[in-house]
Amino acid sequence: MDYKYELDIIAKNSKTAFTPLSIASSDEKNHCLALISAQLIKDQKKILEANKIDIDNGKKNNLNSAMFDRLKLTSERLEDIAKGVDDIILLDDPVGKIDGEFKLYNGLLVKKVQVALGVIGIIYESRPDVTVDAAALCLKAGNAVILRGGSESIHSNKALAESMAVAIRQSNLSEFSIQLLPWTNREAVSCLLKLNQYVDLIIPRGGEGLIKFVSENATVPVIKHYKGVCHIFVDKDAELNMALSIVENAKCQRPGVCNAVETVLIHKEIADRLIKPLAQNLTHKGVELRGDETFCSYFPEATPATEDDWHEEYLDKILSFRIVENSDEAIAHIGMYGSAHSDAIISKNQQTCDKFLREVDSAVVYVNASTRFTDGGQFGMGAEIGISTDRIHARGPMGLNELTTYKYNVTGNGQIRK
């Protein structure tokens, strides 16, 4: 199949849709989003039937529990997805917002104005909710979007995209504002990554292999949403009950997501008081514990950790532990093995907390809170495109503001440069 030819048509249609969408009024965009939300609920039965096909196929292909958790849709989850669209409607439209203005020495008035980014290609795996979240956010920010989900969720994604298409056709916006690629192979992705003439940005979110493939093959600019090897450092000045609660929440509340903790670093001076109750709590919750030699000496039932464990995003009820000498060693471990996603310290020592905040270079750094809060909804963004682990343009949860760029509008009264 000639994917290049087919993708050229899709991308060209997106580019055509972008121009009117980028200048559409907030009312026009919000009306379309309201139609999408209503249509998703109306088509609930069809969407859940499509999702069941993906679930059944996943069982045949032995998908792990984390993948099943990401893939599965229920009536409640679909209602939450629709509510996420409604929440986006309530958010301020960033397009046209003036970020600053100043007057030059010669009287020119300069305004920095937020504008839509353009055509955005989003490549993702497993999670059908991303299909709607990404589409709704891009539309509200005035961007046309090309979605490419994974093969494991293709039926779910098609059903969701069809519902959104029905809604868009009832609005004043172009039906090409949101498009889903019907193919899931790498050849089609390779073609999409090189459509510089039409596509302005690629956002990949998924496993390490996907991110690496996109980064190495794209000629279109990329914002990476890399894996979440998240850490919690329990300092010697930590409150014991707080540490127990935060670690349990960060691992067990939903282990198959990128902001779940994967490694816990424990200060040696608190190890004898923390490890036993923490290990008992976690094993009672069904968590497999892996630890360094010192941790295993306190809790022999743990599996000895290997070097690979420190790099691993388990996305499952598995948690690794390391005992450290001090905060410097904890920070060094995070710098060596972390993915610059989300990392936390638990401590009552303000000086130690300030040091951790200053020296840990991750997209989101926490003091005395669970890493599970790294989420666009939790940050008041409505939904999110994902969690950017890049350093350029956007970092952390990407919401509406992160889906815009800016231009300078300059007004004069006849000035010429001398």
Residues 162-170: contacts with CB under 8 Å, at least 24 apart: 162/43, 163/36, 163/39, 163/40, 163/42, 163/43, 163/46, 163/47, 164/36, 164/39, 164/40, 164/132, 164/135, 166/39, 166/43, 167/32, 167/35, 167/36, 167/38, 167/39, 168/32, 168/35, 168/36, 170/35
CATH number of 3-225+385-411: 3.40.605.10
Tokens (6 digits) for 310: 């420190």
- Domain covering 230-373 assigned CATH 3.40.309.10 in the classification: yes
Cβ neighbours, 10 Å, residue 20: 15
Among residues 367, 358, 363, which one has the least CA distance to residue 376? 363
C-alpha span between 180 and 123 (Å, rounded): 10
3-state secondary structure of 32: helix
- Measured between alpha carbons, how far is residue 87 from residues 33, 83, 140, 353, 386 in Å? 10, 6, 11, 34, 16
Which strands, in side-by-side order, build the sheet including 178-180?
Answer: 178-180, 144-148, 119-124, 201-205
Exposed, middle or buried, 216 (CB in 10 Å: 0-12/13-18/19+)?
A: exposed
pLDDT tens digits for 43-60? 999 999 999 999 999 999
Provide the 10 A C-beta neighbour count for residue 357.
12
Find all residues with CB under 8 Å of 259, minimum gap 6, and list them.
Answer: 228, 230, 341, 342, 371, 372, 373, 374, 375, 387
Least Cα distance to 289 among 276, 254, 246 occurs for 276
CA-to-CA separations, 351 to 38, 328, 357, 363, 370, in angstroms, rounded:
50, 13, 10, 21, 20
Distance CA 117, CA 114 (A): 9
Q: What angle do helix axes 44-60 and 75-90 make, rounded to 10 degrees?
A: 120
Contact 21, 143 (CB under 8 A): yes
Per-residue tokens: 35: 């139609």
Among 229, 230, 228, 225, smallest CA distance to 345 is for 230
Instruction: Give the model's pLDDT for residue 377.
Output: 83
Return the pLDDT at 376: 86
Q: Which of 224, 249, 148 is nearest to 189 (CA)?
A: 148
Say how far apart CA 310 and CA 291 lie, in whole Å. 10
Q: What is the mean pLDDT of each run of 10 residues along the chain (418 residues)?
A: 89 97 98 98 98 94 81 95 94 96 97 98 90 96 96 96 98 97 91 96 88 94 92 98 98 93 98 97 97 97 98 95 98 97 98 98 98 92 85 92 97 96
Note whether 18 and 143 are within 8 A (CB). yes
Domain ranges for the chain = 3-225+385-411, 230-373
| pTM for this model (two decimals) | 0.89
* pLDDT on residue 64: 78
pLDDT of 70 reads 82
pLDDT at position 207 is 78
Work out whether the CA dihedral 70, 76, 78, 79 comes out positive or negative: negative
Residues pairing with 409 in the sheet: 111
User: Is residue 175 within 8 Å of residue 165, measured between CB atoms?
Assistant: yes
The rounded distance, in Å, linking the Cα atoms of 230 and 242 is 18
Single-letter residue type at 322: R
- Count CB neighbours of 248 within 10 A: 18
The pair of structure tokens assigned to 333 is 């471990």
Say what the pLDDT of residue 387 is. Answer: 92
Say which DSSP state 388 is in. E
| Tokens found for residue 168 | 């868009």
